[in-house]
Amino acid sequence: MRRCGNMGRSGSVMELSAVLLVLLHLSIHVVDEGLAVNPSCTCIRFTSTYGKERGTFSSPDYPRPYPASLDCLLYTFLAAPHEIIEIVFTDFDIYKEHLDCVRGDYLKVYWEVQGPGPPGAVNERSAWARELCGSRSDAPPALYSPGPALVLEFHSGPRQNNATGFVGTYSFIDKRLFEIDGVRLSGTDCDYQFSRSGNRPTHGRLYSPQYPSIYPNNVRCSYYFHARPKERVKVVFEEISLQKGDISCLRRADIIKVFDGRDTDAPTIAMLCNELTGYEVLSTGPALLLQFTANSASPGQGFAATFHFQPPPDSTAADSDRLLKLSFGKAFESLGPEVSATTSSCHQEFNSDGTKHGTLTSPHYPSPYPPNTHCHYEFFGRGKERVRLVFQDFYLYKSADGSLDCTNVDSMQAFINVDGRLEKVETFCGVDLPKPIMSNGPKLMLEFRGTHSSRYARGFKISYSFVENFGITSGRQLKEFPCAFVYNSTEARNGTFASPNSPGPYPRDTECTYFFHGGETEKVHLHFTNFDVEGVLPCEAVSASDYVEFSNYMTEDNLYGRYCGQMKEFHVESERNFFKVTFRSNDRLDGTGFKAIYQFLDISDEYRAPMQDEASNSVCILGNFMVLVATILPHLHHQLYH
C-alpha cells in the first residue's frame, strides 16, 4: 500500500480520478483531497466539521451500489492533538464474501499509523486495527481512535454486487473527557490509586486503557480504592463491552475481577465479562481492588465506571431517603408523607449492617391489613451479598370472580436493578404461598398494595436474609469466585446440589460453577431430578437463553453442549475424575433452575438408576423434538423478549 498524499486542493483539481469525481458530494466536509503517490489510491481528508457538531461521509454512489474494483480509497480523519475521532455508521452494507472479511469487499480501520509522512499517513508498514464487512449488525455501534488520527480504507473486489456501502458521521471529541480521576502509580502503564484523603474528591470516574477506543491486548491494570475508616467504596459500571456473547467468565481471556479488600487475597465480589450495563458493586470495608486483564486477540471497547466513597451507614440517615429515590427511581414518587419517612411502619429499610436476617410483616399482622395500604420495603446488602426472601405466610384479599392474574387486586411486587433501571421481576397475589425470591445484586425492593382488604386478609410474613452463598447449601464455597462450590469425593461420595435460590426461581445476572473432584480411578455421575432453565436450543445469546453446560476440563468441552428449557430426569457422566458444571443466567427471564444428585463412581462401575432407560429415552425423544424446532423457536423467542 502506498502513502496517502497531502496535495492541496488547487494542485489536485486537474488530476481527479474517476472515483474521486463520484465523491464530489462530500466536498462540503473536506478540507483537502488528492491523489496518493499511487494513482489507484485516492485520499479524502477530513479535518473540520465547519462549526457543526459532526460531519458526514459515505461510500461512492451511496445509496446506490458502490462500484467494483475499488483498489484503494482512503478516508483520513485528522483531529487536534487533544482530540480523538468518533465514527458512527448510520448505514452499513458491504458485501461479505468471507467470515473474517480478509478478501473481497472490506473496510479497514487504521489508527496507529507508523512510518514517515504527515500525520494520518498510511503506508505499507501500517497495521490495521480491524476489518469490517457485512450488514449493519456486523458493524460496531461506534469507532473511536486512541489518538488524533483515524484512516478508513475501502476496497471492493472485481465482482459487482448490490451492496450499497456505508454512510456515517464523524466527530472530534476532547479526549480529556475520559481522564481517570485517580493517581497513576509510578512505573506502571495503567495502575491507579483512588484515595479518600486531603482535597481529593469523594467520587469520580475510571476507564479501561484508551477508552472509548478499544483497549490493547496483553495488559493488566489494577485500580486501588482506599476510603476512610468505616467508609465504603461503591463502583457502578455504566458500560462493559469486552466481547460479544454469553460465554462463561471462567473461559474469557478479557475479564474484570473485583476484590473486597486491598489485594487479590481478598474475597472476589464479582467477575465480569462479555457485555453489561449498570452493574453495581459495594465493598464491605474501606478498601476495594478492581483488576482488568486483557489477553484476547480481539479486544473490545472496555469499560466506563464511576466510583463513590460512601460515608458510614449511621451517618447518612438524613440522606438515606434521597439515595433510595436515586436508586429506585419513580417507584417512590407515589409515596406520600405518611409513608416516606424511614421510621414509618409501612415504609422500612433493611440494611445488612444492622442484621443479616430477620422478618417483616404487613401492617397489623396477623390481623387484617387496613384498606388502601401502600408500603415499600427496601433491602441493601454489600460485597457479594444477595437478598433472599422466604415467605412464611401469605394471604391477600382477592375477589371471588376467579381471575387468574394479579391485575387490580391486592398484590405484592418485587423489583431489582437491571441495566441501571428498576425492573419488576415478580408479582404475587391471592393465597398461594410464593416460592423464595433472590436479588441479582445487593439491592431489592418490595411494594405492597392492599387496596381492598377484608376480615380474612391477614397479609404476609416474610423471612429475609443477606446471603453470600446464593442459597446453595451443599459443597464448599470458594472465595476466589463470586459463586463457586467444590465437591470432593474424599469428603462425600454422594450428595445433592442445586441452582441458586432453589426451590425458588434463580436470580438474574448470575453465574455459578460447581467443581467435582474424584479420586484417580473415579468418575462423576450426575442425575438431574428437576430441570427448568429458561431458553431454547441451542441455548445461545441470540435467543437470550440461560444455560447449563458441562466439561471434563477447566476449559471448553465440545462433548456435551449446552442444556436449557424444561426437561425430564436425565443423567450426565464425566469421562475422568474431574467434572465442571456451569450455570449462567442473563437479565431477561428466569426459571426454577435444577436439582441434581451427584455420585463418585469407580471407573469400572456401571450406574443404573431405576427407570434409567425410560428416562434416557424421554430425554432423547425430547432432544430430537427440540432440535427440529430449534431453527424456529430462537427467532420467536427473540421477537418476544428483545
d(CA 141, CA 90): 9
Cα 390 versus chain centre, distance: 28
**Mean pLDDT value across residues 244-256:** 94
More confident residue, 304 or 200: 304
Dist CA 385 CA 438 (whole Å):
10
**What is the mean predicted confidence (pLDDT) over 620-626?**
39
The predicted structure's pLDDT at residue 335: 36
Instruction: Considering only residues 39 and 489, tell me which one the structure prediction assigns the higher pLDDT.
Output: 489
pLDDT at 37: 31
* Of the candidates 390, 399, 401, the residue with the CA atom closest to the CA atom of residue 457: 399
Give the pLDDT of residue 462: 97
The reported pLDDT for the residue numbered 443 is 93
Tens-place pLDDT, residues 67-93: 999 888 999 999 999 999 999 999 999
Average pLDDT, the chain: 83
- Three-state DSSP at 117 gives coil
Confidence at residue 197, expressed as pLDDT on a 0 to 100 scale: 77
d(CA 401, CA 46): 69
pLDDT of residue 620: 36
- pTM for this model (two decimals): 0.82
Question: Do residues 515 and 487 touch, judged by C-beta distance below 8 A?
Answer: yes
SS (HEC) of 480-524 = CCCCEEEEECCCCCEEEEECCCCCCCCCCCCEEEEEEECCCCEEE
Closest alpha carbon to 370 in 433, 276, 457, 438: 457
- The closest of 144, 120, 127, 57 to 92, measured between CA atoms, is 57
| Mean pLDDT along residues 617-633 | 40
End-to-end CA distance of the chain: 43
pLDDT band at 418 (very low <50, low <70, confident <90, very high): confident
- Residues 567 and 560: their CA atoms lie apart, in Å, by 16
Burial of 58: CB neighbours in 10 Å, binned 0-12, 13-18, 19+: buried
12-17 long-range contacts (CB < 8 A, ≥24 apart) are 17/42
CA distance 40 to 398: 78
Q: Looking at the predicted structure, is the pLDDT value of residue 518 above 70?
A: yes
pLDDT at 431: 92
Give the up-direction half-sphere exposure of residue 434: CA atoms within 13 A in the CB hemisphere: 26
Residue 233, classed as helix, strand or coil, is strand
Cβ atoms of residues 439 and 382 within 8 Å: no
**Res. 23: pLDDT tops 80:** no
Dist CA 234 CA 323 (whole Å) = 13
How far is Cα 334 from Cα 340, in angstroms, rounded to an integer?
Answer: 9
Q: What are phi and psi of 380, to 5 degrees?
A: -130, 115
Q: What is the mean pLDDT of residues 148-176?
A: 94
Q: Return the higher-pLDDT residue of 370 and 120.
A: 370
3-state DSSP assignment of residue 159: coil
Residue 5: pLDDT band (50, 70, 90) is: very low
Which of the 8 DSSP states describes residue 84? E
Q: What's 94's DSSP letter?
A: B
Of 22-36, 75-89, 306-320, 625-639, the poorest mean pLDDT is in: 22-36
Residue 18 pLDDT level (bands cut at 50, 70, 90): very low
Q: What does the block give as the cell for 263?
A: 489485594
Read off the pLDDT band of 414 (50, 70, 90): very high
* Rounded Cα gap, residues 162 and 593, in angstroms: 47
Rounded CA-CA distance 384/270 in Å is 7
Lowest-confidence region among 103-112, 286-295, 388-397: 103-112
CB of 641 within 8 A of CB of 544?
A: yes
Tell me the H-state helices in 329-402.
337-340
Least confidently predicted of 31-45, 351-365, 502-516: 31-45
Name residues whose C-beta falls within 8 Å of residue 421's C-beta, 6 or more positions apart in sequence: 278, 329
Span 374-386, pLDDT tens digits: 999 999 999 999 9
Residue 205 three-state SS: strand
**What percent of the chain is predicted at pLDDT more than 90?**
66
